[in-house]
Amino acid sequence: MAKKWFETVAIAQERAHKRLPRSVYGALVAGSEKGLSSRDNLAAFDELGFAPHIADLPAQRSMATSVMGQEIAMPVLISPTGVQAVHPDGELAVARAAANRGLAMGLSSFASRSVEEVAAANDKVFFQLYWSGGRDVMVRRMERAKAAGAKGIIVTLDWSFSNGRDWGSPWIPEKIGFKEAMILAPQTLLRPRWLWSFARKAHFPDLSAPNMAEPGTKAPTFFGAYYEWMQSTPPTWEELTWLRAQWDGPFMVKGVSRIDDAKRVVQAGATALSVSNHGGNNLDGTPSPLRALPAVADAVGSEIEVLLDGGVRRGSDVVKALALGAKAVMIGRAYLWGLAANGQAGVENVLDVLHGGIDSTLLGLGRASIHELSRDDVVAPEGFFRILGG
Ligand SMILES: Cc1cc2nc3c(=O)[nH]c(=O)nc-3n(C[C@H](O)[C@H](O)[C@H](O)COP(=O)(O)O)c2cc1C
């Protein structure tokens, strides 16, 4: 067990790289076009420094908070991702890990596990929707999530269906049966531990999207669901307001970069927004959310909960985002690396790494609580910030 423990997310990523077949690892690294945004998401955290204290440091630090009405043990949420093929327990392992650490989870509508299974494993689940399939279909998806016990909705609006990457996209089959397994064999046979983890459960990785199924029908394939989404006309602000009115509870809009959009999200009646560029998987060239965050937080932070996601790999990254005005952050790849490296225990390991990092950063900054953090705690180089749509 000790051998499987890792002390940083970077080590978890290295293990995921060794363990996962090339195409699965490539799908997680992702990024779009030239990878400008995915690189900037990481670079921005590196450019920001700290202004530490050396005495009067607090003996104990607290980091509990609440987001969308849920009490959470630290200001970190699981961002929704479809984790098909990373680990046989998929989102279920992630849900259990988050529940064991007192944390909430966003569940993707493209997830490989059903909202019923996941909400039974974690009572703080927010179901994530795309604008896909028409009004009635979306209402049915939300009703299903509510019946399963989801506590909130996350609507993700930043997606531009870009489909080229300068380093090439991995081949992902429609489904994995014997034939596809043989085509993938050259890379999967080089990853025997990954193969064995699925073989033990006697199934191939599930590439379907059960939460996109209509009542009484079979789960569509991942690509079938993606096609439905591609064919859907993107929503207007009025339609977003309509969607919000269909959900009686907390409602987050994910993918905001601009101040004017943030104000429209407030007008639509949302409870929360996440400043995000979809982990750099969307419109390449969108700046890191960390650079755009302060302007958005200044504009709407008193009216709505402002979160950030994109590029968080350390506890100190979480503290930087909070110092710049986020109430909490969401993580994507960080927990995916943990899941790939060591299943549920690997996700718990990542969450513990972040917890320890937040605690030691608060100590260094002389802050007894995350609620005391302010912009004075960080140093930003000239020209660091971006004000979009101001
Ligand atoms: C493999 C992968 C799949 C994703 N799937 C979804 C999704 O289904 N829905 C969604 O809202 N965001 C999705 N995202 C974006 C994440 O929720 C989040 O915005 C992003 O991963 C944050 O950046 P980070 O990975 O640097 O933490 C996905 C991201 C990755 C890497």
pLDDT in tens, 360-379: 999 999 999 999 999 999 99
Q: What distance in Å separates the CA atoms of residue 267 and residue 271, rounded to the nearest whole number?
A: 10
- The neighbouring-strand residues paired with 350 are none
The closest alpha carbon to 224, from 176, 169, 174, 162, belongs to: 174
Q: 110, 113, 169, 278: which to mutate for ligand 1, most atoms within 8 A of CB? A: 278
Instruction: Give residues with Cβ within 8 angstroms of 81, minimum separation 6.
Output: 108, 111, 332, 336
β partners of residue 252: 154, 272
| Pairing, β 305-309 against β 65-67 | unpaired
- What is the residue-level pLDDT of the chain in tens, covering all 390 positions? 568 999 999 999 999 999 999 888 998 998 999 999 999 999 999 999 999 999 999 999 999 999 999 999 999 999 999 876 789 999 999 999 999 999 999 999 999 999 999 999 999 999 999 999 999 999 999 999 999 999 999 999 999 998 889 988 877 666 666 666 666 666 766 777 777 777 666 566 778 999 999 888 999 998 899 999 999 999 999 999 999 999 999 999 999 999 999 999 999 999 999 999 999 999 999 999 999 999 999 999 999 999 999 999 999 999 999 999 999 999 999 999 999 999 999 999 999 999 999 999 999 999 999 999 999 999 999 999 999 998
What is d(CA 86, CA 33) in angstroms, rounded to the nearest whole number?
A: 23
Residue 278 annotated in active site: yes
Task: Please identify which residue in the block is written with the tokens 């979009």.
Answer: 388
Q: What is the pLDDT of residue 199?
A: 67
Distance 276 CA to ligand 1 centre (A): 10
Contact 377, 365 (CB under 8 A): yes
**What tokens does 255 get?**
């993918």
Atom of ligand 1 minimally distant from the CA of 277: 19
Whole-number Å distance, alpha carbon 69 to ligand 1 midpoint, is: 22
28 φ, ψ (degrees, to nearest 5): -80, -40
Please identify which of the residues 17, 87, 203, 278 carries the catalytic annotation.
Answer: 278
Tokens matching residue 186: 């050259």
Q: Which of 81, 86, 108 to mutate to test the pocket of ligand 1 (most atoms within 8 A of CB)?
A: 81
Q: Among the atoms of ligand 1, which is closest to the Cα of residue 280?
A: 23
- Of 276, 279, 319, 274, give the one whose Cα is nearest residue 301: 274
Q: Whose C-alpha lies nearest to ligand 1, atom 7?
A: 81
Please state the length of the chain: 390
Question: How far does the centroid of ligand 1 lie from the alpha carbon of residue 79, in Å?
Answer: 6
